[in-house]
Amino acid sequence: MSEGIRVIDASDSSMLVVFGDEISRDLNRRVIRLFHDLLTNDSPKSAGGRIRNLHPAYASLLIDYDPLLLPATELRARIQELIGQSDIASSDGARQAIEIPVCYGGEQGPDLPDVAQHTGFSPEEVIARHSSIEYTVYFIGFSPGFPYMGGLPESLATPRLKTPRTSVPAGSVGIGGSQTGLYPMQWSGGWRLIGRTPMRMFDPEAKPPSRLQPGDLVKFTPITRESFDAMVAGG
């Protein structure tokens, strides 16, 4: 078994694989690797499956399974086997970042002035910095398609709103503390909104339903209000 990894019974039907206790790209990469191995080979798809659901997070993977179809000892052995393998073959490959067009500021990013004021940059500098980084989707949680992304420069960190908005439009891109992300669906939320993408990020009819997957690389590309409107109109 690989050092420092803990496999815990989170319940009688779920096992939590903990790789560490901090947020780091390295730990998350190991989480995503195990997640992919299980998703590809032990494909959870239905209520009647042996493995029913996988919940990757920053540094852990929760595996929801049916203990009557898949004995805990067998799952544990499978986890150990996969962790051992992926530690040997750990090539990530050269992955291409997914480009997400974003209309920054204005009606689409009402909190851009606040972020500028808090960080001491001009709004243009905030946009330039925010769109220059390649972010990693650590995992998707909170709501359908909502990516927890790593890579926001500390210089752009801005506290969340004191009172969350009751409705944030779908596609909104925001900063919450030292994280950045985007709201794939209309939802409530307390992040500072700096822009919006016209791209549909979550569509239950699409395969896969979420444009972003755990482990993806993401880059935001600034677009004008005119292109935003044109893309919204064009669907």
List of residues contacting other proteins (CB under 8 A) = 8-14, 16, 18, 21-23, 35, 39, 43-49, 52-62, 64, 67-68, 72, 139-146, 148, 185, 202, 204-205, 208-210, 213-214
Minimum distance from CB of 13 to other proteins (Å)? 5
67 vs 113 by CB, closer to other proteins: 67
| Beta-bridge mates of residue 176 | 179
**Peptide bond between residue 208 and the one before it cis (omega within 30 degrees of 0):** yes
Helix or strand or coil: residue 207?
coil
Q: Which residue, 202 or 228, has its beta carbon nearer to other proteins?
A: 202
Nearer to other proteins, 144 or 222 (CB): 144
Q: Give the span between the Cα atoms of 189 and 171, in whole angstroms.
A: 13
Of 54 and 116, nearer to other proteins (C-beta) is 54
Residue 3 Cβ vs other proteins, minimum distance, rounded to whole Å: 20
CA dist., res. 51 & res. 70, Å (int): 8
* Residue entry with tokens 């490959």: 93
Q: How far is the CB of 222 from other proteins (least distance, A)?
A: 26
- Shortest approach of other proteins to residue 153 CB, angstroms? 20
Identify the CA nearest to 120 among candidates 157, 68, 171, 80. Answer: 157
Considering only CA atoms, which of 152, 133, 141, 134 is closest in space to residue 60?
A: 141
